[in-house]
Structure 1
Amino acid sequence: MPVVKLIEIAHGRSGDKGNGSNVGIIARHPDIYPFLEKELTAARVKDHMKHVCKGEVERYELPNIGALNFLLNESLGGGGTVSLKLDAQGKTHALQVLRMEIDVPEELLSLVSK
């Protein structure tokens, strides 16, 4: 299986939720969602984001829109109004998750090939 960045098969959005950031990862094709559901665990996101996320990572599944939503607790240094972080609202967190390298079956890559 080829190793690619998650951004090849998904896109994302993120923002602040108090002292946590909310990261939504959306499959680029409906057939990719089951793969993401299996492979993109809260533990995997936590390990990838350990430099930012000091708390637990919670995962919520949204199969009707082919997305996974992650709440990265304790990732914003107190929250938007008190944080000294450059990205106090977690706007870059989705892009950081999308840079995760992942083994993806060829048949899924062909669904989103250019």
Structure 2
Amino acid sequence: MIDRMQAQQEDVRFRILRLLQDNPHLTQRELAGALGISLGKANFCVKALLDKGLIKLHNFKASRNKLAYSYLLTPAGVAEKAALTARFLGRKMAEYEQLKAEIESLKQECDVSPRV
């Protein structure tokens, strides 16, 4: 079982891998905006994914824009994204079940309490 902070870090990693797989040309600024995190945190996370070998950076040498990069998931990155997806889904399903139980409890409370 992972703690809340680890789960949040996994969620960010999962969302970054997911976004980069869908759009490898995102800049770190665009990535930060899409995730609602600071540019510094996005940079830190991208560097960590690069260091772990989960993504690789591809520079378009023929491009006129010398800052044109693409982030590509490596085979290890694809495997990690699949594992993160399963854990993310498990956490979200558990949250859903907890919310559903809380809603049912609140509905029963409303039915039992006297109406004003």
Higher strand share: 1
- Fold in common (TM above 0.5): no
Q: Which has the larger radius of gyration?
A: 2
Normalised by the length of structure 1, the TM-score is 0.28
User: Which has the larger helix fraction?
Assistant: 2
**Which one has more relative contact order, counting CA pairs under 8 Å at least 6 apart?**
1
